[in-house]
Structure 1
Amino acid sequence: MGVRLTVLGDALLDTDLVGAVNRLCPDAPVPVVDDVIEVPRPGGAALAAWLAATGGAEVSLVTPMADDQAAAVLRDLLAGRVDLHPVTCQGSTPVKRRVRAGGQSVVRLDSGGLHAVGELTRPAVDALSTADAVLVADYGRGITAVPSVRWLLETLPRQRPVVWDPHPHGAPPIPGLQLVTPNLDEADGWARRVAPGLDTVAGPWTRTARWAAALVDAWAAGAVAVTMGERGALLAYGTGAPVVVPAPPVAAQDTCGAGDAFAAAAAMLLGAGRVTGEAVQGAVKAATAYVRAGGANAVSASPDETMTSSTASWAAGDGSTGPPARSAADVAAEVHAHHGTLVATGGCFDLLHAGHVACLEEARRLGDALVVCVNSDASVRRLKGAARPVMPAEDRARVLQALSCVDAVEIFDEDTPRRLLRRLRPEVWAKGGDYAGAELPESGVMDEWGGQVVTLPYVTGRSTTSLVAALARTGSEHRRL
């Protein structure tokens, strides 16, 4: 997206030791991990920088770098993606090693540590001063506590957006930041320091909202977004009701690094000119995309391919907030491959009502999957007149897709979905009971492969036409008043 992002923080080397567990150790009740493969990846601030670069940003990373083998590995991982500005330090590169088997972590081994972090170089200062946005990824290793670093950071919020991802053992965020992004545990810990007693408030949502408001006040921040894992994020501005951005459902096994994905995306979006609320919405999508792609495990497995295309879309704030919708063709292929029963139904579904929902639920019970064929806008106009549809086809399909009884939705442009049915070849074509006793136009095409046309009971008094008429009457009455 062309945003110049500078990440300042603590770079770590994360390593996955991946093997298989088939037995227990004979001298202790612990698993034996065989055939171990060592796979390194960037961690901490280096992971945030790597993700932002993969998402299309021009990224500089300002971080303490030791002179050891782990630092050399980190440099190689970032080469060609991130412009590195090392800060002198004493100590050794922090390394986190996860022993994994069957997609699960067995144990984590931490080593290394930095101390006596030095001053920023002139290129590092320039990278911070000229960036479109700055992300501070604090992992409690000392760089955010260096007085000259804090002085420089304090000058930045007046010029560009700064996002601060805090750490329980790190320095407090500087005042005036546009956005601070603690997770639940971090928000709890920091709130206990700045406003003791808030943790006694009953109810998790109330506690989280009050923690966030207290941190906005204590840090003089523009906003605080508390990340809550699978529940999304709570965004507080200090006054008024907080904004909750739910996370789309995702089957997560490895969520390590999701906070870095969130913070990196938020900083990129703010640097691109998005307002804070939009940036947080995009950041929730980013973290979800990261976890859905496999999280840190996927970064380890395929650093050159993981999320290269998907990060570009979420970094721009694009995409649905839900999981990717399955295509009608994929659903049909899966049902046929398992010799199941595919059910299809169709219609305009303009202003979805209780009669529609009842019919769809009943249709789904007839088989193993339900595909809904939706008339395009042009098709609806030909059937219903120039005043219809009330809702465009994309909106009608989106509403239908949200129903748990619907497995896939596809829009067709003809008056009847004959060509679509020939592609899907459902075993059952179901229509509402207002067609009972009538010869349906789809009957002939269903006969081609031995499919069956059925009608379902009609819910009396429920129709889109009556709803449109009622809305028109209501509008007329309001105009007279």
Structure 2
Amino acid sequence: MLVSAPEFKQAHIVVVGDVMLDRYWSGLAGRISPEAPVPVVRVKDIEDRIGGAGNVALNIAKLGGQVTLLGVIGDDAEGQILQKLLEAEGVACDFVVEPNMRSICKLRIMAQHQQLLRLDFEETPLPVSKEALLARLAQYLPKSDAVVFSDYGKGTLAHVSEYIAHARQAGVKVLVDPKGVDYGRYAQADIITPNLSELQAVVGACGDENSLIERGRSLLKRHQIETLLLTRGEAGMTLIQDIHVHSLPAQAKDVFDVTGAGDTVIAVMALGVAIGKTLHDAMYLANLAGGIVVGKLGTSTVSLQELMRATHSERDSQYGVVSEDELAQIIAKAKTNGERIIMTNGCFDLLHAGHVTYLEQARALGDRLIVAVNSDASVRQLKGNARPINSLQQRMVVLAALACVDWVVSFEEETPERLYCRLLPDVIVKGGDYRPEQVAGGDCVIKAGGEVKILQFVDGQSTTSMIKKARGEE
């Protein structure tokens, strides 16, 4: 899938939920205590991070979105630290301050980059004023593209159904990271994002994929929710709707810490929805972002640069060799981004320096180079039964490995005329002594506003001469 660079700065999002401070005490554990059989950690570093719903807002801000965070804190040092950290990162905070409660703080004891112990400082359920929180939400809804309800079960969203109703009335998209087993509280949300264990706690254990999808759809229908985005760990993600189902494989190469990964996923989904991306494109970006963040220690975020590097890396690895249908979609996306598409074709049986020079010259004419390759059967029609020397798959893999080539596709016919007329690249490139009007498919491309370019082959370089030399015929 090819997804253009997102303009997340246009997004305005409200995040509502349980906010908390994540505190880390880190050091070395080199001995066991003589007082009890526990490791002794000599603390070297103390770090405060943003947790809970604050981490969702932080992810949005890190990716360039405009975000306001609503929640509840106590009138204490932890609450002040949390708000200061958030505002320093560009998150606008409008908290309800409850003087008689304690701000939630989770203290993690770390040694050699491993978590040994977590201590939770909290008094839940939180004493939340529904009216105070609803008044704040109503203030921001008219200028928001989406609202995220990040439920950690601490009490901030005890009246979430009423908050969702107000958001729906305002015409704002609603995304929910749910908690618990009562999903009726999230009725009429646009998107919910449980993980697999959370979903199965509600619908029951699912023995196979069909059961999972059917129970997911039943849940959506029961609560009038449009979309379920299911995060499945090493199995990736699945988007379930009334009719459509779409899955993506996990992108993480090394899983170091899953803390906060769900926050990142819903943050990126909200950004995608807010700027009008399709759910499939938003899911694709969220999947990449989740793969990045689980490779980091502790509650972490993803930068726009990291996300776009992952986008290009994943696209390049998956889309060197593509099908014709995939290529049609890729070209449409690339043209939408203003990219100039160059296309050429050939047998490319034994790749030599002349081929490489020719392909590099072709790529220099635009932004993307596509190489269409004759099938084995069509090579035999053109070259005789002794050819090709290398199979279609081998030829395509070698071409896709060239830095100047973006995508490689095959065709069955003797000429690529039908393929060119379907795909309509901006430029067809052909090597040799052809005239533009002689190039198969050139008339279709020219009528569509494209052009045909003729390049000269490098003298003394040919596959036939290579074969003759290998056979000792030269």
TM-score by length of 2: 0.65
**Which residue of the partner structure matches residue 112 of structure 2?**
102
Unaligned runs of 5+ in 2: 1-7, 319-350, 360-370, 376-389, 408-426, 443-454
**Which residue of the partner structure matches residue 233 of structure 2?**
229
1:70 aligns with 2:68: no
**Which residue of the partner structure matches residue 158 of structure 2?**
145
Once the two structures are superposed, residues 201-259 of structure 1 have per-residue CA deviations (whole angstroms, 9 ceiling, x without a partner) of: 522x234323321221222111111111232211111335x211223242120221111
1:140, distance to aligned residue in structure 2 (A): 0.5
Amino acid across the alignment from 2:282: A
SS of 2:132's partner is coil
Q: Which moved more, 1:129-138 or 1:268-277?
A: 268-277
RMSD (CA atoms): 3.8
1:269, distance to aligned residue in structure 2 (A): 1.1
Contact 1:215/1:224 (<8 A) preserved? no
SS of 2:74's partner is coil
Contact 2:128/2:155 (<8 A) preserved? yes
Contact 1:250/1:323 (<8 A) preserved? no
1:250 aligns with 2:253: yes
Once the two structures are superposed, residues 432-459 of structure 1 have per-residue CA deviations (whole angstroms, 9 ceiling, x without a partner) of: 99834539xxxxxxxxxxxxxxx9xxxx
Of 36, 58, 78, which aligns to 2:66? 58
Once the two structures are superposed, residues 118-139 of structure 1 have per-residue CA deviations (whole angstroms, 9 ceiling, x without a partner) of: 1325444211343111000011
Contact 1:179/1:222 (<8 A) preserved? yes
1:285, distance to aligned residue in structure 2 (A): 2.1
SS of 2:276's partner is coil
Distance in structure 1 (CA, Å) of the matches to 2:181 and 2:154: 8
**Which residue of the partner structure matches residue 446 of structure 1?**
none
Once the two structures are superposed, residues 266-294 of structure 1 have per-residue CA deviations (whole angstroms, 9 ceiling, x without a partner) of: 111111122323322222122223334x2
Amino acid across the alignment from 2:430: R
1:130-209 paired onto structure 2 within 5 Å: 130-146=143-159, 150-158=161-169, 159-168=171-180, 172-192=184-204, 199=205, 201-203=206-208, 205-209=209-213
Q: Percent identity?
A: 22
Distance in structure 2 (CA, Å) of the matches to 1:212 and 1:97: 35
Q: Cα–Cα, structure 1 residues 376 and 112, in superposed 2: closer, same or farther, change >3 Å?
A: closer
1:24-423 paired onto structure 2 within 5 Å: 24-80=32-88, 81-89=90-98, 90-114=100-124, 115-118=126-129, 119-120=131-132, 122-146=135-159, 150-158=161-169, 159-168=171-180, 172-192=184-204, 199=205, 201-203=206-208, 205-239=209-243, 242-292=245-295, 294=296, 296=298, 307=303, 309-310=305-306, 313=308, 319=312, 321=314, 350-351=372-373, 355=391, 357-358=393-394, 372=402, 381-382=430-431, 387=439
Contact 1:21/1:34 (<8 A) preserved? yes
Distance in structure 2 (CA, Å) of the matches to 1:357 and 1:32: 58
Q: Cα–Cα, structure 1 residues 229 and 388, in superposed 2: closer, same or farther, change >3 Å?
A: farther
Once the two structures are superposed, residues 146-201 of structure 1 have per-residue CA deviations (whole angstroms, 9 ceiling, x without a partner) of: 3xx53232132250211011012777443222111111111111224xxxxxx2x5
Distance in structure 1 (CA, Å) of the matches to 2:352 and 2:28: 47
Contact 2:432/2:456 (<8 A) preserved? no
1:37, distance to aligned residue in structure 2 (A): 1.0
Distance in structure 2 (CA, Å) of the matches to 1:29 and 1:101: 16
Unaligned runs of 5+ in 1: 193-198, 300-305, 326-343, 364-369, 391-412, 417-430, 440-454, 456-481
**Which residue of the partner structure matches residue 339 of structure 2?**
none
Of 18, 22, 25, which aligns to 1:17? 25
Aligned length: 358
Once the two structures are superposed, residues 337-388 of structure 1 have per-residue CA deviations (whole angstroms, 9 ceiling, x without a partner) of: xxxxxxx987576438772545799x9xxxxxx9646569989622697758
Q: Cα–Cα, structure 1 residues 32 and 108, in superposed 2: closer, same or farther, change >3 Å?
A: same
Q: Cα–Cα, structure 1 residues 61 and 135, in superposed 2: closer, same or farther, change >3 Å?
A: same
Q: Cα–Cα, structure 1 residues 175 and 31, in superposed 2: closer, same or farther, change >3 Å?
A: same
1:102, distance to aligned residue in structure 2 (A): 2.9
Contact 2:12/2:67 (<8 A) preserved? yes
Contact 2:73/2:104 (<8 A) preserved? no
Contact 2:182/2:202 (<8 A) preserved? no
**Which residue of the partner structure matches residue 475 of structure 1?**
none
Distance in structure 2 (CA, Å) of the matches to 1:154 and 1:263: 20
Contact 1:8/1:136 (<8 A) preserved? yes
Q: Cα–Cα, structure 1 residues 161 and 99, in superposed 2: closer, same or farther, change >3 Å?
A: same
Once the two structures are superposed, residues 69-109 of structure 1 have per-residue CA deviations (whole angstroms, 9 ceiling, x without a partner) of: 21111011101411111124453122222222333322222
